[in-house]
Structure 1
């Protein structure tokens, strides 16, 4: 029996602690924030939608990325897009012929799980805290082969929030053209628009080349994970057709209600994002000040975008026993951090989310983290 791999990140969908610093988004939008710009929902038909997604919604997403609406396929969240692409490009048909996928570690568990679930061979480029989670083009080049079907990346990355350099992505695509011209470069851009304050959002990677597939969702930058709305963008008509067929054969269509609310959100995205970016900037700077005051215990990699960052308990202050004590102290403080092991990172690393809690609660949570560090360090 084929099985989906288990990962303890599923605990994020269970009961929430008082101070949840494990989540990588925030704050949540509320339904009332969207109703003023939504159509008359009382008259909304709850029949099946279209397999490719609502046409008006696809037009708005296309305009956001400078592509045509026929290059957009709406999915049930970004995770659905990840699974469909893994199945289509690296599924059983290709696996029997030696097809491979290349990705990184640490990374979002579902990105790897989608590849594992379809049985593809996975080759991994390791990213490290000490190198700021910046990948080496040479390491990708060493793994590429004629068997490569997919290179799956994220920018900004989860759990680090570090963005990939567009020039590096262009060079990587050039290497792929030479070594594995039929392969696709997938870039998960879920955090791309979660910029800080007045910082501009990075451009989408979809413009880099014909073999690039960009995916995103409303879950992170826009604060609407409950809508379960994502999308995939491809310039390849054959791949788009397979994505539409894959959507039909897995979920038939999306929820008309989700798609109507998503349209209302994206037509008002600039003011919504502006307010959220201001809060992310405040959370980032407060976290930076906390890191500075706790420099004897922790270090971090400052993120490029998103409501998340990686912190590391300093190995010279925390052995394995002290790391375990820190986890226990977090529970005593009713605080949750995301364990680096969920993403394939080293045991001393945790993902800290600074965007979900209101500022007074973030202050309280950081004070609790300070107590946990002090108690664990001994």
Structure 2
């Protein structure tokens, strides 16, 4: 029996260090932010297998689809796991990219899929050239799994790129589905335009997302799958019923309140993300002798690289301990399939004063390595 592969990313749900730059989420909502009314009459019985109708309608409106195309799940990973379970039997081909969120790859491996990986590189800004996918796709391909914006880089695929991928799939593997994780889609910076969901492009697209990242409600464990294929949706509802029966009625009620106040919640977060991004951009410039980055398109994360001229491989290995000594945590690139000299830096979780303190501590760690003033 295939088991889930261990990954040190699990440490992010362990003890929190003084300066946490490893997180991928926005500031956390608190229960009091959503308790604007009496919940004493809320039923604590089972909900519905597809998800609360009002919540599905709200998700549909936010994504430009119909409510009957939405299935509510226990977080985004539940969606990703169910899709892998339904579409990938042992030996079936699945295609994805690297770097990527490790649990997305683990779900494919756990099903025994033959996973083909297209590397995306730091040097190319983690951009996807759809033509490079073509050699990996065959009639045996059942699933192409991507994320936009990506985790760990925050780099997004343009709508034209997604359409080109779909066109190539239509010729190479017409029976396959494109799974697109859009969890960071609404996490734009300031007044930047939010990219429309790809969920409604055609019935071979599956969109998944959750309230865990840009909405700051990871503790609700509410995600969703959107598909225009009625047979796949029926299979998803059945699979959800056989794994968790329904979502928590409390979580669904609070999730609906987030959607009812969505623009106010996201507006403040987009502004704080914009501020955090500017702070990281300035920090990278100030430490340009030691680090370089790929500027993200959206989300609360980016990829930073320790420059080879300042850090040989041995120095990279020891520098993570130096960071730990300074109370700083980042997400090691090896968690996502990158070399250790690349790391994911989160700038959305900490408030501005705490983010500045964390970046200052990182600079102090650079000075401790003996590379001069950072």
Distance in 1 (CA, whole Å) between partners of 2:231 and 2:369 is 55
Unaligned runs of 5+ in 1: none
Distance in 2 (CA, whole Å) between partners of 1:64 and 1:347 is 37
Q: Match for residue 38 of structure 2?
A: 40
**Is the CA contact 1:99–1:120 (under 8 Å) kept in the aligned structure 2?**
yes
SS of the counterpart of 1:295?
Answer: coil
Change beyond 3 A, Cα 1:232–1:58? same
Q: Match for residue 24 of structure 1?
A: 24
Equivalent of 1:63 in 49, 61, 64: 61
Q: Match for residue 84 of structure 1?
A: 82
**Is the CA contact 1:325–1:376 (under 8 Å) kept in the aligned structure 2?**
no
Moved over 6 A (4+): none
Q: Which moved more, 1:76-85 or 1:39-48?
A: 39-48
Q: CA deviation at 1:374?
A: 2.2
Superposition map of 1:1-378 within 5 A = 1-36=1-36, 40-91=38-89, 95=90, 98-378=91-371
Cα displacement string for residues 254-298 of structure 1 (whole angstroms, at most 9, x for unaligned residues): 000000000001110000000011100000001100000000000
Distance in 1 (CA, whole Å) between partners of 2:58 and 2:340 is 42
SS of the counterpart of 1:207?
Answer: coil
Distance in 1 (CA, whole Å) between partners of 2:134 and 2:161 is 12
Distance in 1 (CA, whole Å) between partners of 2:9 and 2:306 is 20
Change beyond 3 A, Cα 1:291–1:219? same
Distance in 1 (CA, whole Å) between partners of 2:285 and 2:201 is 38
**Is the CA contact 1:56–1:263 (under 8 Å) kept in the aligned structure 2?**
yes
**Is the CA contact 1:155–1:162 (under 8 Å) kept in the aligned structure 2?**
yes
SS of the counterpart of 2:22?
Answer: coil
Cα displacement string for residues 52-75 of structure 1 (whole angstroms, at most 9, x for unaligned residues): 000000011111112111100000
Q: CA deviation at 1:135?
A: 1.5
Distance in 1 (CA, whole Å) between partners of 2:192 and 2:124 is 24
Over aligned residue pairs, what C-alpha RMSD do you find? 1.0
Distance in 2 (CA, whole Å) between partners of 1:26 and 1:334 is 20
Distance in 2 (CA, whole Å) between partners of 1:138 and 1:65 is 28
Distance in 2 (CA, whole Å) between partners of 1:155 and 1:114 is 18
SS of the counterpart of 1:149?
Answer: strand
Distance in 2 (CA, whole Å) between partners of 1:308 and 1:358 is 14
Unaligned runs of 5+ in 2: none
What TM-score do you get using the length of structure 2 for normalisation? 0.98
Q: CA deviation at 1:377?
A: 4.9
Q: CA deviation at 1:209?
A: 1.9
SS of the counterpart of 1:195?
Answer: coil
Q: Size of the alignment, in residue pairs?
A: 371
Distance in 2 (CA, whole Å) between partners of 1:328 and 1:181 is 48
Distance in 1 (CA, whole Å) between partners of 2:143 and 2:356 is 42
Distance in 1 (CA, whole Å) between partners of 2:66 and 2:222 is 19
